[in-house]
Amino acid sequence: MNKKPEIRSLDGANMDIDLVTPQDKIGWTQDPCPWNEADGTMEHRCAVKNVSICPYFCGIKFTDNVLCCYPTENPYHKA
């Protein structure tokens, strides 16, 4: 029987996450950002290293799913 691993929640990660990579530059399918779709742009990013985290970003689900609450801001978002 496998022992359930302890999962730690560690604050302060310096993340760089987006859904704006052109499809011809990656070998997997990437869902579009709903905010970019609504604004007709490619400028919104989930997390930008050393700079910002999108107000609609709600985390990551293993392995690489962005949890997004657009168009309602994440109430836990820190400006």
**Given the complex with ligand SF4, which of 2 and 46 has the nearer CB atom?**
46
Residue recorded with tokens 């400028």:
43
**Given the complex with ligand SF4, which of 2 and 50 has the nearer CB atom?**
50
Closest Cα partner for 13 from 67, 69, 59? 59
Return all residues near 35 (Cβ < 8 A) that are at least 6 apart: 44, 54, 56, 70, 71
Establish if 48 lies at the interface with ligand SF4 (CB under 6 A).
Answer: no
Contact with ligand SF4 (CB under 6 A): which of 60, 68, 73, 75? 68
Establish if 54 lies at the interface with ligand SF4 (CB under 6 A).
Answer: yes
